[in-house]
Amino acid sequence: MKGRDMLLGLCAALLLALLISPFASPWPDGLEKVAGDKGFLQKGEGKPVLAAPIPDYAWPGIRREGVATAVAGVAGTLIVFAVSWGVAFLLRKTTPPGCADCRQ
C-alpha cells in the first residue's frame, strides 16, 4: 500500500472519529442490555486488571461530553493506527541483499 493511500485512509478515519463519535448512543449496547435484563451485569463489574486509558469513551478532564468523546475517538484512532503500523512494520518481508528488483 502506498504511503499516500495510508495517509488518506488515516485522515478519513480521523475525520469520522472527530465528527461522528459525538453522536454515539448513550444507551448500553446489546450485550450490556441483556446482561442487565438477566441480572448478571454486576458479575462483570469487578475490579479491572488494567485501567482503561479512556474510560467510557470520553477524554478525562474535558467537561463537554461531545468534545470529550470526539477527542477520545481521535486518540483511539491514532493509537490503533500506530499499533497496526508497528505490527505491519515488524512483519514486513525484506528483500535479500543485491535483489532490489526481485519479486518473490
- pLDDT single digits (tens) 59-104: 888 999 889 999 999 999 999 999 999 998 898 877 666 666 665 5
Q: Residue 28's pLDDT is what?
A: 79
- C-alpha 7/C-alpha 12 separation (Å) is 9
Tell me whether residue 8 is in a domain: yes
How many domains does the chain contain in total? 1
- pTM comes to 0.70
Tell me whether residue 74 is in a domain: yes
What Å distances lie between residue 18 and 13, 39, 44, 83, CA to CA? 9, 35, 30, 20
Residue 75 sits in which domain range?
Answer: 1-24+64-92
